[in-house]
Amino acid sequence: MAAFESSMATNDCIPGLKRLTIAVQDREAKIAVQLYNTGWENARFLKTKGEQARVPSFIPNDPICRG
């Protein structure tokens, strides 16, 4: 089973997600969505763009994240 990460952040995502859902259902399978907050995992990426993570879990100088 393959897993992938996709965005549902904007309405632009709807057509692709609809195609995916139809393809899955055509094969009599189920589809589910797992929502999560990338939190500190995204801090390092945002830092490269000169931005700071805007999430409750962000801790400056976190020894685990090193974000």
**pLDDT of the chain, 67 residues: tens digit per residue:** 555 567 787 899 899 999 999 999 999 999 888 877 666 667 677 778 887 766 665 567 766 655 4
Close Cβ partners of 64 (under 8 Å, ≥ 6 residues apart)? 40
pLDDT at 58: 58
Close Cβ partners of 54 (under 8 Å, ≥ 6 residues apart)? none
pLDDT at 15: 92
pLDDT at 9: 75
Q: How crowded is residue 65: how many other Cβ atoms within 10 Å of its Cβ?
A: 17
Q: How crowded is residue 58: how many other Cβ atoms within 10 Å of its Cβ?
A: 16
